A and B are shown apart, each in its own frame.
Chain A
Amino acid sequence: NAGVTQTPKFQVLKTGQSMTLQCAQDMNHNSMYWYRQDPGMGLRLIYYSASEGTTDKGEVPNGYNVSRLNKREFSLRLESAAPSQTSVYFCASSPTSLEQYFGPGTRLTVT
């Protein structure tokens, strides 16, 4: 039981490039989430998916898109990366609308 897995672990992009961050969970959880973590700011919700087939915006959705591919997988896409998107990105999943379980993170640098 791996829990929540994320790929890649590290990524460096140039401004304007695109990429997709992958997340998968093997706990049969209904809801999944994407957060970004910046120094001194805690974690901020980008998008979430309450159940398979639904996605909703969080606090900081601009510049991102998401896809809930199936119950297990939830991807985050940056269409045109900007230096302001340099951050650590965490995926999480939850069996309900409450307790969330986080993956190990992806450290993204945009130059």
Chain B
Amino acid sequence: GENVEQHPSTLSVQEGDSAVIKCTYSDSASNYFPWYKQELGKGPQLIIDIRSNVGEKKDQRIAVTLNKTAKHFSLHITETQPEDSAVYFCAASRDDYKLSFGAGTTVTVRA
């Protein structure tokens, strides 16, 4: 099955700086890569996703890049704000209803 590794496990950034989270996947047939944000005591929330036919996607302060050859994808958050503090999960799927999640990155934005 698919194996998704996520790094780093914790990330502390100064408010206004950028944050980058990286994930690698093992199944070359995977073609869908979402990112979820989970705040304390809540369910994961889909914040951005990318399909394998696209190399980069942006939505305001967040962007995701995909390198299919190297089988890795990354989440970039620019101009971080305190409300960006949360746990972020990457995931991968081969469009078969099954999402394989990374272990998560706890992001702390210092004021």
Contacts of A45 on B, CB cut-off 8 Å?
98-99
Q: Determine whether the beta carbon of B89 is less than 8 Å from that of A43.
A: yes
Contacts of B36 on A, CB cut-off 8 Å?
102
User: A42-B101, A42-B104, A45-B98 given as contacts; is B93 within 8 A of A102 (CB)?
Assistant: no
Q: Could you say which of B1, B45, B93, B103 contacts A59, with CB atoms under 8 Å apart?
A: B1
Q: How many Å from the CB of A90 to the closest CB on chain B?
A: 5
B42 within 8 A of partner (CB): yes
Q: Determine whether the beta carbon of B98 is less than 8 Å from that of A98.
A: no
Across chains A and B, the number of contacting residue pairs, with CB separation under 8 Å, is: 58
Q: Could you say which of B43, B46, B89, B96 contacts A103, with CB atoms under 8 Å apart?
A: B43
Q: Could you say which of A56, A98, A104 contacts B32, with CB atoms under 8 Å apart?
A: A98
Q: Determine whether the beta carbon of A98 is less than 8 Å from that of B95.
A: yes
A2 within 8 A of partner (CB): no
Q: Determine whether the beta carbon of A102 is less than 8 Å from that of B101.
A: no
How far, in whole Å, are A39 and B57 apart by their CA atoms in the complex?
A: 30
User: A90-B43, A97-B96 given as contacts; is B32 within 8 A of A43 (CB)?
Assistant: no
Q: Determine whether the beta carbon of B93 is less than 8 Å from that of A42.
A: no
Pairs A–B under 8 Å by Cβ, sample size 28: A4-B43, A31-B97, A40-B9, A40-B103, A40-B104, A41-B103, A42-B103, A42-B104, A43-B101, A45-B99, A58-B98, A59-B1, A90-B43, A90-B44, A97-B95, A98-B32, A98-B34, A98-B49, A98-B95, A99-B46, A100-B34, A100-B46, A102-B36, A102-B43, A102-B44, A103-B43, A105-B42, A105-B43
B residues within 8 Å of A by Cβ?
Answer: 1, 4, 6, 9, 32, 34, 36, 42-46, 49, 89, 93, 95-104
